[in-house]
Chain A
Amino acid sequence: MAKEEQDKILNEVTESEYKYGFVTDIENDDIGKGLNEDIIRMISAKKKEPKFMLDFRLKAYRHWKTMKMPEWAYLKIPEIDYQDIIYYSAPKQKAKLESMDDVDPEIRATFDKLGIPLDEQKILANVAVDVVMDSSSVKTTFKEALAEKGIIFCSFSEAVQDHPDLIQEYMGTVVPIQDNFFAALNSAVFSDGSFVYIPKGVRCPMELSTYFRINAENTGQFERTLIVCEEESYVSYLEGCTAPMRDENQLHAAIVEIIVKDNAEVKYSTVQNWYPGDKNGKGGIYNFVTKRGICEGVNSKLMWAQVETGSAVTWKYPSTILKGDGSSSEFYSVAVTNNYQQADTGTKMIHIGNNTKSTIISKGISAGKSNNSYRGLVKVVKNCEGARNFSQCDSLLLGDKCGAHTFPYLEIGNPSAKVEHEATTSKIGEDQIFYCNQRGINTEDAIGLIVNGYAKEVINKMPMEFAVEAQKLLQISLEGSVG
């Protein structure tokens, strides 16, 4: 990476409070707190959804009511009152917008502060941006260019209106409503999200990116993303988010479903920077995410790359079902926890097809009084011949009040499988910092250097622009954690 960028990143380290913490003043169209069938009907009605959608939601809700919040994760989560949450809110907008000039200046200013590249330069940089502010899609760019290739990239709500057949065919096929507590909740109340459809033989000519942002007070976010890649197609999808500073804990339960057909390839990259709470562990987002893809076709590929620095609580295991023969999946992750943050993250690789291959590279960084756990499952079913997995789980500790934990699970049902697991734990030593100091590098920059060096393998898998942002986030989120 260029020196200028590096410098810029290093300079940003001087700000020690959560950089993106501010609240935009936008009128909200709420439906009040609480959750029951009437509320779900109201959400569905407000979104003018077809009947199949309402039925899906109600079925999910009825199932959710029978479920209990999971307790197996290495997390301490305060009781969540699900009746004390507003399940729908959308920023008030006038008519449909034609161009950027029509976007609410408040919203635009917010995005500018965040550095979200909705402007001309970004478009020139060949990125179409679908911005989700709270629950409603605010603006979609480049749709036409994509449409020419038959690519669909729109908000989930739009897709429900315009492509109900596709939604009906694929929604809930990778993450069924009864999958887990948070998946059921999301399926009942999800507000919006993104839909991507890449037709057969099409390589998506640009990175598709979506920025999510929590805005309204007390509003849980229930995003839903569905990506369908037909045979021989390719897409790289970027998801990134930052959230405003606030005191009350907020619930976030998203679902991502990805379907990859014969010889198709999907790259899904995430920079997650929800508000982590303050230095004393007050506030912060609770992030319970179900991300799963299925490599349905032969030789299909799915790559997950993620940099996780935010949230008070993170519960997240992007997973791949390797169903097609010869399909492969890679999982690259950096998860940072500082202060009182807790993260229980990892992946699941389920080998079903013959000669399927998976790679897991997980890098945990813990600082302050935080706890960082890796939880990963590699499963090879009985009839799967020639499966291969390589897992590497590294932990880096800053200071001695934080924790790093590794929970690898192996379920190998076929003797032909080759599975390798490596794990290391290291510490940033005072002597390393002093060595840097002695060469003229201050402590914050030294930590930045060391941490980015440690995470390099993962960062290198991120698309360029995300890599830059990711490096910034790593350093910013570890500010003040040593010395």
Chain B
Amino acid sequence: MLSIKNLHVSIEGKDILKGINLDVKPGEVHAIMGPNGAGKSTLASVLAGRDLYNVTEGEVIFQGKDLLDMEPEDRAKEGIFLGFQYPIEIPGVSTVNFMKTAVNEHRKYKGLDPLSASDFLKLMREKKALVEIDSKLTNRSVNEGFSGGEKKKNEIFQMAMLEPKLAVLDETDSGLDIDALRVVANGVNKLKTRDNATIVITHYQRLLDYIVPDVVHVLYNGRIVKTAGKELALELEEKGYDWIKEENGK
């Protein structure tokens, strides 16, 4: 589904990703861990098409298409969803209007008619229940004045609405209280099918108790330096990153 080959990315002349290779197949859950500043969010942003970053080398193929060639909105409509580490506030734009526009853009891309108002509200209701998000939040402007945890929940709600093929969740767990963490993780699990895939970026193995990964990668200094099963997360939790740093010559 997703194939990243030798991806090099720089910003303002500074190399941040230095040759990433990653393959994700339908139905898989990949976890990416790694110390602060390793380049995890950069990777997520590049997949989503943020033009701040320069891809200097490498390729990314998503479902047979050259992802790097596409506009961000087209990547989204092809099925890439980014759960932002820091979701953006859009004052004045109601969540309902925002999601309606987004959902209908996705439908248009697939050659479907826009949803009627009542069908849309039905979909909203269904997905709100799935991620247990309060109408008090969805009735407000997009993320405006939301608490950190509420913003994260809203990301998962949007993901549920858009039903992506590949969801990249950038530290969706940080800022969530224990109950919210379980709710969000349940949401992600319920949305899982054999055809879609998830990349979860996280610092805490706790999330991976709920969302059980098939593979865990360690991203360090712009490279994936270790890939193993879910037990790697436990090991990192226990030992921290020093041994990784040492292995890779600090």
Contact = CB atoms under 8 A, between A and B. Distances in A.
A439 B102 contact: yes
Contacts of A441: 73, 98, 101-102, 105
Contact of A434 (B50, B77, B81, B162): B50
Interface string A438-456: 1111110100011001101
Interface in B10-43: none
Interface in A416-466: 426, 429, 431-432, 434-443, 445, 449-450, 453-454, 456
B76 interface: yes
Residue in A6, A439, A441 with the greatest tally of chain B CB atoms within 10 Å: A439
Contacts of B102: 436, 439-441
Given A3-B117, A454-B91, A434 B101 contact: no
Max chain B C-beta neighbours (<10 A), residue from A3, A440, A443, A454: A440
B105 A440 contact: yes
Name which of B73, B76, B102 has the most chain A CB atoms within 10 A of its CB: B73
A449 B91 contact: no
A449 B72 CA distance: 17
A454 B89 CA distance: 13
B106 A426 contact: no
A15 interface: no
B97 interface: yes
Which of B87, B89, B93 has the most CB atoms of chain A within a 10 A radius of its CB?
B93
Contacts of B91: 426, 453-454
A25 interface: no
Nearest to B107: A440
Q: What secondary structure prevails in chain A residues at the interface with B? A: helix
Given A431-B88, A432-B88, A453-B94, A437 B71 contact: yes
B172 interface: no
A397 to B, nearest CB: 14
A7 interface: yes
B100 A434 contact: no
A344 to B, nearest CB: 25
B93 A437 contact: no
A291 to B, nearest CB: 27
Contacts of B216: none
A332 B49 CA distance: 39
Chain B: interface secondary structure? helix
B84 A439 contact: no
A439 B93 contact: no
Interface in A1-59: 2-3, 6-7
Contacts of A429: 88
Interface in B30-78: 48-50, 71-73, 76-77
Given A437-B76, A439-B98, A3 B92 contact: no
For chain A, give the interface size range: 20 to 34
Contacts of B92: 450, 453-454, 456
A435 B87 contact: yes
A438 B162 CA distance: 11
B93 A442 contact: no
A439 B157 CA distance: 12
Contact of B72 (A7, A438, A453): A438
B101 A449 contact: yes
A445 B49 CA distance: 18
A450 B91 CA distance: 8
Nearest to B49: A437
B72 A437 contact: yes
B93 A440 contact: no
Given A426-B91, A431-B88, A439 B141 contact: no
B82 interface: yes
B109 interface: yes
A406 to B, nearest CB: 19
Contacts of B175: none
Contacts of B88: 429, 431-432, 434-435
A443 B71 CA distance: 10
Nearest to B77: A440
Nearest to B100: A3
A463 B120 CA distance: 26
A437 B51 CA distance: 11
Contacts of B120: 3
Contacts of B158: 439
A449 B91 CA distance: 10
Given A434-B72, A441-B102, A441-B105, A3 B90 contact: no
A475 to B, nearest CB: 13
A435 B102 CA distance: 11
B109 A440 contact: yes
A440 B73 contact: yes
B174 interface: no
Contacts of B48: 434, 438
A127 to B, nearest CB: 26
B112 to A, nearest CB: 13
B162 A439 contact: yes
8 contacts: A2-B117, A3-B120, A435-B87, A438-B49, A438-B81, A439-B102, A439-B158, A441-B105
Interface of B: 48-50, 71-73, 76-77, 81-82, 84, 87-94, 97-102, 104-106, 109, 114, 117, 120, 141, 158, 162
Given A438-B84, A439-B105, A443-B73, 4 more contacts: A431-B88, A435-B84, A436-B102, A450-B90
Closest 7 CB pairs of A and B: A453-B92, A437-B72, A453-B93, A439-B102, A435-B88, A440-B76, A440-B105
